[in-house]
Structure 1
């Protein structure tokens, strides 16, 4: 015995230009019939919240699926899976497509080579899927945009929920972020953490979807923007604060990556914040207020 609910959508060409669109959503539980073998032309995230079952890899290997878990179904690849016929499972699925899937794959949020992903929990993913199901009501004029936004949220939730990721993030990434403003090369950062440069590159690529150099650069330039916008520090001082001893090199790098020179970036902000910005992250449920 099983129960199922699903809706499918056909976004317009204009909605496809959002980069990511939702094609369908479903909630099922019980002793569901097997799916496949079949091949699709779009992505599907299948979230198993409870129960167990099986998944057959393209080479014919059958693997056990134990909740909580995620199945990635990717375009052009044969998949075949099903719930245990005795216990069943609870399943939520979201079909999606768009050019942004290539970038999410490059960044490690979608893993075609790792179709079965153990999860730590499914709460955040199910919340995102819940937003899609609520948006799926008939006659909703915002359906395509709401569901597209929720797919972005779902991909982030699934990346955070991976069982091999600590709740506070990857320790290597935390350490790099802590040391980002030190004037160190990638090799020196690796040595500080007892790693080879190659091992550091692999860890950062898996955790952040980019190279250590790009990861550090994003942190440095983000802080540089804050200092330029919120203080009167000279550009040379800003460069030193974020780890660059050569102000001219910093200015060239900033201009190339941000698209405008540091002095122009500061001028366009049009304001300064006496004392600088607070480093304390506000509570989104209780933000600072006047009075």
Structure 2
């Protein structure tokens, strides 16, 4: 015996241009019949919340699946899977769109890793629940709401991977902590007892970019804050974020941000004497400016 509920959608070309378009969503529970063998032309995230079953890999092996787990079904790849005799609790989302290429490059979608153990599925289930709620008949915002929830789903699945701790990857945490020190990639690697190649592999897997790219994003984010909220000269801002050469910093800033530091300050600068904080506010209790 099993229970199943599903909806399928046909988003317009405009909705596809939003980046991700949701094609369908389903919630299933019990000793479900096997799926496939088949090949699809779009992506599917199958979230096994609890229970166990199997997955037929392209090389012919039958791999065990135990919840919580994620099964990635990618376009053009044959697949075959099913719940075991005891059944499982499954949610699935079909999606497509040009953003899938970038999400794959960043490591959020892993075609070469069709089975991903998860530590918890509460956040992915919340994203899927948003798609389910949007699927009510006659909802004029269906495609946009569902597409936005697919973005949220991919982020939550990335965070829920069992090989990622609740506070994120410790290597990335350490790089972020030391990001403003004038250290080379080789020096950062040495601090972790790694070779530069090992560090590049770890950062690519954790953040979808190179160590230089990861550090640059953190440094430029802090530089923007200093430019927008202080009167520090550009050279001082450069030194505070790890660059001794202000001309080199300005070139990097302009290339990545699209405008020079002085122009960014002219556009974004504002006086916040005594009002700046590095603490991330709680959205449920935002900081309030008292009335005079």
TM-score band, normalised by shorter chain: over 0.9
Question: 1:46, 1:93 within 8 Å by CA — same for their partners in 2?
Answer: yes
Structure 1: state its 5+ residue gaps: none
Cα RMSD, aligned residues only: 0.8
Q: Aligned partners of 1:211, 1:269: CA distance in 2, in Å?
A: 29
Cα pair distance change 1:275/1:241, threshold 3 Å? farther
- Report if the CA contact (8 A) 2:181-2:241 is conserved: yes
Task: Indicate if the aligned counterparts of 2:200 and 2:211 stay in contact, CA closer than 8 A.
Answer: yes
Query: How far did residue 276 of structure 1 move?
Result: 6.1
Q: For 2:276 and 2:116, how far apart are their aligned partners in 1?
A: 40
Question: Is 2:167 the partner of 1:181?
Answer: no
Measure the CA separation in 1 of the matches of 2:83 and 2:278: 48
Aligned length: 290
Q: Indicate if the aligned counterparts of 1:186 and 1:197 stay in contact, CA closer than 8 A.
A: yes
- Name the CA distance, whole Å, in 1 between partners of 2:216 and 2:274: 25
Alpha-carbon offset, residue 125 of structure 1: 0.3
Structure 2 counterpart of 1:107: 106
CA distance in 1: counterparts of 2:44 and 2:51, whole angstroms: 20
Counterpart-to-counterpart distance in 1, 2:200 and 2:13:
38
Give 4+ residue runs of structure 1 displaced > 2 Å after superposition.
Answer: none
- Aligned-pair CA distance for 1:272: 2.2
How many angstroms apart in 1 are the aligned matches of 2:222 and 2:274? Answer: 15
In the alignment, structure 1 residue 172 sits paired with structure 2 residue 174: no
* 1:26 alignment counterpart: 26
- Partner of 1:87, secondary structure, is strand
Query: What TM-score do the two structures reach when normalised by structure 2?
Result: 0.98
Deviation readout 1:4-37 (Å, 9 max, x if unpaired): 0000000001111101110000000011000000
Question: 2:227 touches 2:269 (CA, 8 Å); kept in 1?
Answer: no
Q: Distance in 2 between matches of 1:276 and 1:246?
A: 30
1:55 matches 2:39: no
